[in-house]
Amino acid sequence: MKKTNLIFFTSILALLLSCNNNEDRADGYGNFEATEITVSAEANGKIQFFNIEEGAVLKENMIVGVIDTIQLSLKREQLIAAKNIIFSKSRNVLSQREVLREQIKVASKEQKRVENLIKENAATPKQLDDVNGQIDILKQQINSVETQNAPIVNEVKSVEVQIQQIEDQIQKSIIKNPINGTVLVKYAEPYELTTFGKPLYKIADLNEMELRVYIGETQLASLEIGQEVAVKIDTANDMKSYTGIISWISDTAEFTPKIIQTKEERVNLVYGVKIKVKNDGSLKIGMPAEMWLQ
């Protein structure tokens, strides 16, 4: 009888331990990620100022460096001087046009005076023809002057475009931080020569991290975008828990990555899931974590 009771209690204990082991298993495993941005130079030259360090927290649009702009500034001054010279040519041409317009006004008054005299038989038609001919000549001269001014105006516009291009290059020589975030890697130092497209530093917003986990097909039906889940990380004595929100669920299956679970389980087809988690400073890129369905 005692032997039978012992076997019975042993079976119950094994069943309870089996249940507890299933309950203690997470629903997904993965690592934390963040959107990393590599900031590159948009101009060529020596880095005159570059005030960042790895781990520094930077604000969006904060000026963190300047690439030498002396040559660009000199080129801009040269173009501005050329523009002023061209403007002076245009002013001379336009002043001629104004003189001709004043002459037309005087001739128009003379035209009306002659027309009135003809009505009173005090002038001849030839006098009116002479005045009309003079007005026609003045109008032709105005058209000729405006034709001369057209290429000058186009030349001014061309120089203005070149000035805008130089000013754009000067603005791009000022290194502005694109987002609020933490500097992950620094690639350049002050007084180094840099070129267009050369990486300067890498930054990421670590205030909100993304945990990428992989789940089996049987779990897929129980997950949806916007769903709250528990995210846990290992600590010295226990596991620390966070609240996460599912932001993305893959619609295609893939083989489990090699970093996840055992060799036998790596051949299974799984679906990727991303979970957004607010970072209290403890979460790091690449840190392993677990997802638990609430």
**CATH number for the segment(s) 70-171:** 1.10.287
Look at residue 2 and tell me whether its pLDDT is greater than 60: no
Residue 261 has pLDDT above 50, yes or no: yes
Higher pLDDT, 49 or 145: 49
Taking only the tens place, the pLDDT of each residue in 222-235 is 899 999 999 999 98
pLDDT band at 284 (very low <50, low <70, confident <90, very high): very high
Q: What is the pLDDT of residue 257?
A: 64
Question: Is the dihedral angle over the CA atoms 271, 277, 280, 281 positive or is it negative?
Answer: positive
pLDDT digits (tens, 9 = 90+) for 86-122: 888 887 777 788 888 888 888 888 888 888 888 888 8
Q: Hey, is 130 helix, strand or coil?
A: helix
Contact 68, 43 (CB under 8 A): no
Task: Tell whether the model's pLDDT for residue 85 goes beyond 70.
Answer: yes
Q: For the chain, how big is the Rg over CA atoms in Å?
A: 40
**Amino acid 15: pLDDT:** 35
pLDDT(259) > 70: no
Three-class DSSP category at 267: helix
Burial of residue 40 (number of CB atoms within 10 Å: 0-12, 13-18, 19+): middle
DSSP H helices, the chain, are 2-23, 70-119, 125-172, 217-220
Q: Match 């032997």 to its residue by tokens.
A: 3
Position 154 pLDDT exceeds 70: yes
Mean predicted confidence (pLDDT) in 34-38: 95
Q: What residues form DSSP beta bridges with 50?
A: 65
Residue span(s) of the chain under CATH 2.40.30.170 come to 26-35+205-293
Element (H, E) at 28: strand 28-33
**Chain region(s) in the chain for CATH 2.40.50.100:** 37-69+174-204
Indicate the pTM of the whole model. Answer: 0.69
**Which of the four pLDDT bands, split at 50, 70 and 90, describes residue 184?**
very high
Alpha carbons 222 and 294: distance in angstroms, whole number: 11
- Looking at the chain, the whole-number percentage of residues with pLDDT higher than 70 is 88
Q: What is the mean pLDDT of residues 182-193?
A: 96
Which of 1.10.1840.10, 3.10.350.10, 3.20.20.100, 2.40.30.170 is the CATH number of 26-35+205-293? 2.40.30.170
Pick the CATH number of 37-69+174-204 from 3.40.50.10900, 3.40.630.30, 3.10.290.10, 2.40.50.100: 2.40.50.100
Task: Give 203's pLDDT tier (boundaries 50, 70, 90).
Answer: very high
Q: Would you say 188 and 201 are in contact if contact means Cβ atoms under 8 Å apart?
A: yes
Which band of pLDDT confidence, cut at 50, 70 and 90, is reported for residue 258? low
Q: Residue 45's closest CA among 152, 188, 225, 178? A: 188
| Distance (Å, whole) CA 20 – CA 13 | 11
Q: Return the biggest CA–CA distance within the chain.
A: 154
State the Cα–Cα distance between residues 150 and 18, nearest whole angstrom: 91
- What whole-number percentage of the chain has pLDDT above 90? 52
d(CA 169, CA 161): 12
Q: Assess contact for 77 and 125: CB atoms under 8 A.
A: no
CATH 1.10.287 location in the chain: 70-171
Q: pLDDT per residue over 52-67, tens digit each? A: 999 999 999 999 999 9
Sign of the CA dihedral running 178, 182, 185, 186: positive
Specify the 3-state DSSP secondary structure of 67: strand
φ/ψ bin of 281: left (φ > 0), alpha (ψ from -120 to 50), beta (otherwise): left
